[in-house]
Structure 1
Amino acid sequence: MSIQSQTAYSIERANRYIAENKGSVNPLYRNHYHASPPVGWMNDPNGFVQFQGAYHLFYQFHPYDAKWGPMHWGHMKSTDLIHWEDLPVALAPDQAYDRSGCFSGSAIERDGKLYLLYTGVTEANEEGVHHQVQCLAVSEDGLHFEKVQQNPVIPVAALPADASQIDFRDPKVFEHEGMYYTVVASKAGDETGQILLYQSADLVEWEFASVFLKGNKQQGVMWECPDFFRLDGKDCLIFSPMQWPQDGDDYQNLNASVLAVGEVDWATKQFHPESYQELDHGLDYYAPQSLEDDKGRRICIGWMQMWGRNFPTDELGHGWTGSMTIPRELKWEDGKLKQYPIGIVANSDNQGEISPVLTMADAKETIPGIAGDCGLLTLKVDTSELEKLSIHLRENENERTVVSFDKAKNELSIDRSASGIELKGEEAHPPVSRKVALSGKSDYLELAIYLDSSSVEVFEKNGEAVMTTNVYPTETATGISFECSGKAVFEEATFTPFI
């Protein structure tokens, strides 16, 4: 699919195109329980919010092509964060202040209405330069949005002196002590990232509050998609830096997603970080955004792709690109961030089970009932006499994705070098494998591995490690096998297919 004309963009045009073309996409690699676009291109999650009894997810969307293009806001909702229903397009680039794209942003409810705060990319000026400004749209029903007459509500004139007018984007709005605030990504004059803070009493009239956090030359060249929240007594700032330098096993992707933990001085309105950490040690995770739901859970969802990669569904002409991760609940426990999956739950009525306990020693074997390409694999393995365990996922005669645990190093890894279609990147080394060291040593390994048509997400059951990776097998690949050196005692092994 490609752009058919240079006709002005509109919500009506986008919705008509989706209706006419969504039936023609190739579903071969379409994920089943991950949010994906009906057609076209998807990137950053936007406006992740609870409204009128449902979880709403907006996203960066180019309906007319499976490549990045003039950004719209796609829209879907869910009641369980597993099954997603497509809704009409929320925003199209149809005004002078957003003609070149409705870039990323966020959502908040106020007085029963849903407000979207987003970045508009302006028409080019006389020098051919596009500025980035912050804009507002409002809805009473959560479906139909009107852009306010005051747009842009945060113009370039509201920028501090040392901030780019070109790289100024991705507002994340929140409320604190009766005042609305938004963190906005910005590039400083010294080519480093920074997060700006603005404040408002009514979401319409905004004023500059502070440089919330300023980066240095060792922390990348631009920080995107900031998100601020308080989690179990800690102030947390998530952002996605470009070119954050590699540090051992951390930050091996050219672009990363980072959690800074610290405290805000609300007198100066500045964030003082105490630590930084990478959120995901897989190969495809970017631009996460979070919400707090009515159960008090801090839930985060990210784009399950990475800039600089090739996109097989576009290259193959399948008519769509991009998915979101499954949502995760974030917790701060024992001085650490923990991430727990919200998705398929192991179901004893619909899975293979081991009974009695199965033991493998220096062998490669399959387990009856454990196979599939779309579902949840759960494992509990006694590793007291183990050297190394490799789990071969999405396996056929020639292809596999391998998740491994090295007992001596207490290290978890993922390798997609033989998973199917080759995925290339802008990194110095091919983006085919990553690893992460687990902190607490134990004689048990517990994993929850979520498989879908083109993705593998590995969660260590204590919540301390997550690895998200895309895979594209070229042939039917439903096999799962286990290979160990030393002894692996499987106390639990189940596969629950997605239904």
Structure 2
Amino acid sequence: MLHKIEIEKANEFIEQKAKDVNKRYRNKYHLMAPIGWMNDPNGFVYFQGEYHLFYQYYPYDSIWGPMHWGHAKSKDLVNWEHLPVALAPSEEYDKDGCFSGSAIVKDDQLYLIYTGHVEEGDYRREVQCLAMSEDGIHFEKYHQNPVIAEAHIHNIADIAEFRDPKVFQRGETYYTIVAAQTADQRGQMLLFESANLVDWKFKSVVAEGEKHQGIMWECPDLFHLDGKDVLIFSPIQMAKQDNSYWNTSSTVAFIGEMDWETGKLAIENYHEIDYGLDFYAPQTCEGPNGERMMVAWMQMWNRNMPTNDLGHLWAGSMTLPRELHVEDNRLIQTPVKGIYRQFNEQPQDSSKNYFANVVKEQQYVHAVVEINEEQEFTFAYAKNGDEALKISYQAATEMLTVSRETIGYPIKGIEETHLVERKMRVSPVDGQLDLELFRDTSSLEVFANGQTMSFTFFEKVKGTDIAVESTTPLTIKLLTFSQ
């Protein structure tokens, strides 16, 4: 009963207050909450012919608070329909937050498994809980929650750092992988198994981090793809390595082979998933044709958020969903196919080096660059005077750089150095760099030969131009989003 009351309270608040949100920086083709704070994607699942995506949500303010589960659905992963809040803190075991988790379909019902969070002074408890729904909209918490708690991890992990269950089925057995922490503050992933989603037992430590791989791992996801087993997760405070792991919290893919007898992952390669400044807590979903789709929170912890600073009553967005593949033991990402159908080609203006009055707030830019050994180019996007997002490439180092230093409101975090740019090594394919830019009001996602960089930015003055400096010719196509 209390859960129903808290859900009704949240939904009534949203209905009454969402109209007050300032829409200046709102994205159009990315999922955002109607009002308030959004972070991790949760419960990404294909159910009854539609994709459902839940998310960490605090409707009452544009800063993090006691976590609810927001909810939306889509047929194409581009156009989203908001649904009522699915979960709210209400019980003794989750009174301070319904933290991240996942979803699975069983007997044509939708099950959510999530972390119940309790925190009182120095006391902190994180346990795994169930909620069920027949219609995929209204959820009842399991009356015997939690289903995974202290007894399951005795002498294995600390109940204070034990969260983010990702559930999946293999054969007749259900598994859930949960993030935890070792006694000496290293990340580890724990695997549990069940025949019915209710009765769980500990199976194994799937993987355990080294000191330089972060003090805690969050938001795990384990799946089989293109003949490989892939574990993705988000480590906190992973040590910098060349151009990787510069954000205070990162995203990583471990690729290898899972031994299901022992429950251990033999890791053959690992690497950062996205080289932008705003990407965290990705979660995947298997689509109706077996395709593996991924979406992440397009923001970063411990940084100011301009929409909160400006009192716009919202903060946070999801990334554009991406289809995943594994090639040469690396995760390859391509934009969800449906996004291309949403753009219409627009005429190009001016010469090949300067395009005046062509930038739109929802835009797709496709640039194909012929690469030689001396190739260098700089692409100043959304240019207005000295302000612009800058994308540059050096063939000698194969380094692609994206910088928001000269555009919009400053976004500062707790990193030792104020981060305004990231770099990513991209090798040409058949002598070309294939560069795709997806701009949606306050976000830019860069796809380059299967790799990605995700950024937010908040213009003070709208930029309208594109300026190009290049040592060799390049072909640019501009398209505008249409609804």
- TM interval, short-chain normalised: over 0.9
1:67 corresponds in structure 2 to 63
Aligned 1:95-174 pairs, distance under 5 A = 95-122=91-118, 124=120, 129-174=123-168
CA distance in 2, matches of 1:105, 1:115: 11
Kindly state the Cα deviation for residue 441 of structure 1 after the two structures are TM-superposed. Answer: 5.7
Q: Does 1:487 align with 2:472?
A: yes
Deviations along 1:9-38, one digit per CA (max 9) or x if unpaired, are: 710000000000000000011111111010
CA contact (8 A) 2:132 2:139 kept: yes
CA distance in 2, matches of 1:33, 1:478: 20
Secondary structure in structure 1 of the residue aligned to 2:10: helix
Kindly state the Cα deviation for residue 55 of structure 1 after the two structures are TM-superposed. Answer: 0.6
CA contact (8 A) 1:344 1:375 kept: no
CA distance in 1, matches of 2:5, 2:63: 17
Secondary structure in structure 2 of the residue aligned to 1:345: helix
Secondary structure in structure 2 of the residue aligned to 1:15: helix
Kindly state the Cα deviation for residue 297 of structure 1 after the two structures are TM-superposed. Answer: 0.9
CA distance in 1, matches of 2:354, 2:351: 12
Aligned partner (choices 368, 391, 399) of residue 380 of structure 1: 368
CA contact (8 A) 1:385 1:487 kept: no
CA distance in 2, matches of 1:347, 1:199: 42
2:173 corresponds in structure 1 to 179
Q: Does 1:28 align with 2:24?
A: yes
Aligned 1:163-312 pairs, distance under 5 A = 163-312=157-306
Kindly state the Cα deviation for residue 214 of structure 1 after the two structures are TM-superposed. Answer: 1.2
CA contact (8 A) 2:149 2:159 kept: no
CA contact (8 A) 1:393 1:480 kept: yes
| One-letter amino acid of the structure 2 residue matched with residue 407 of structure 1 | A
Deviates more, 1:340-349 or 1:258-267: 340-349
CA contact (8 A) 2:357 2:464 kept: no
Deviations along 1:192-211, one digit per CA (max 9) or x if unpaired, are: 11000111100011111111
Deviations along 1:295-344, one digit per CA (max 9) or x if unpaired, are: 22100000000011111111110000000000000011244321001153
| One-letter amino acid of the structure 2 residue matched with residue 478 of structure 1 | T
Count how many residue pairs are aligned between Structure 1 and Structure 2: 480
Q: 1:123 to 1:284 in 2, by over 3 A?
A: closer
Kindly state the Cα deviation for residue 113 of structure 1 after the two structures are TM-superposed. Answer: 0.1
Kindly state the Cα deviation for residue 381 of structure 1 after the two structures are TM-superposed. Answer: 2.4
CA distance in 2, matches of 1:184, 1:489: 46
Kindly state the Cα deviation for residue 348 of structure 1 after the two structures are TM-superposed. Answer: 8.3
Kindly state the Cα deviation for residue 286 of structure 1 after the two structures are TM-superposed. Answer: 0.2
CA distance in 2, matches of 1:143, 1:447: 39
Deviations along 1:390-438, one digit per CA (max 9) or x if unpaired, are: 1111221231111111122221110000111001011111110111111
| One-letter amino acid of the structure 1 residue matched with residue 444 of structure 2 | V
1:476 corresponds in structure 2 to 462
CA contact (8 A) 1:117 1:173 kept: yes
CA distance in 1, matches of 2:122, 2:221: 31
The answer for unaligned runs of 5 or more in structure 1 is 1-6
CA distance in 2, matches of 1:152, 1:411: 48
CA distance in 1, matches of 2:15, 2:150: 37
Kindly state the Cα deviation for residue 359 of structure 1 after the two structures are TM-superposed. Answer: 8.3
Aligned partner (choices 374, 394, 403) of residue 406 of structure 1: 394
CA contact (8 A) 2:377 2:468 kept: yes
2:312 corresponds in structure 1 to 318
Deviations along 1:117-173, one digit per CA (max 9) or x if unpaired, are: 00001364xx75120000000000000000011100111221141311111000000
Q: Does 1:344 align with 2:339?
A: yes
Aligned partner (choices 424, 446, 460) of residue 458 of structure 1: 446
1:392 corresponds in structure 2 to 380
CA distance in 1, matches of 2:430, 2:303: 36
Tell me the TM-score normalized by structure 2: 0.95
Q: 1:359 to 1:64 in 2, by over 3 A?
A: closer
Aligned 1:56-95 pairs, distance under 5 A = 56-95=52-91
Q: 1:382 to 1:128 in 2, by over 3 A?
A: closer
1:448 corresponds in structure 2 to 436
CA contact (8 A) 2:255 2:330 kept: no
Kindly state the Cα deviation for residue 371 of structure 1 after the two structures are TM-superposed. Answer: 2.4
Kindly state the Cα deviation for residue 190 of structure 1 after the two structures are TM-superposed. Answer: 1.0
Kindly state the Cα deviation for residue 368 of structure 1 after the two structures are TM-superposed. Answer: 6.7
Kindly state the Cα deviation for residue 493 of structure 1 after the two structures are TM-superposed. Answer: 2.1
1:3 corresponds in structure 2 to none
Deviations along 1:248-297, one digit per CA (max 9) or x if unpaired, are: 00111111000000111111111121111000011010000001101221
CA distance in 2, matches of 1:158, 1:444: 52
Aligned 1:42-53 pairs, distance under 5 A = 42-53=38-49
Kindly state the Cα deviation for residue 442 of structure 1 after the two structures are TM-superposed. Answer: 4.5
1:497 corresponds in structure 2 to 481
Q: 1:317 to 1:359 in 2, by over 3 A?
A: closer
CA distance in 1, matches of 2:478, 2:425: 25
| One-letter amino acid of the structure 2 residue matched with residue 436 of structure 1 | M
What is the identity percentage for the equivalent residue pairs of Structure 1 and Structure 2? 46
CA distance in 2, matches of 1:288, 1:402: 26
CA distance in 2, matches of 1:21, 1:197: 41
Kindly state the Cα deviation for residue 388 of structure 1 after the two structures are TM-superposed. Answer: 1.3
Secondary structure in structure 1 of the residue aligned to 2:9: helix
| One-letter amino acid of the structure 2 residue matched with residue 389 of structure 1 | F
| One-letter amino acid of the structure 2 residue matched with residue 36 of structure 1 | M
Q: 1:33 to 1:295 in 2, by over 3 A?
A: same
CA distance in 2, matches of 1:66, 1:46: 19
Tell me the TM-score normalized by structure 1: 0.92
Kindly state the Cα deviation for residue 386 of structure 1 after the two structures are TM-superposed. Answer: 5.8
CA distance in 1, matches of 2:305, 2:86: 25
CA contact (8 A) 1:186 1:196 kept: yes
2:33 corresponds in structure 1 to 37
Q: 1:367 to 1:184 in 2, by over 3 A?
A: same
CA distance in 1, matches of 2:323, 2:226: 12
CA contact (8 A) 2:357 2:465 kept: no
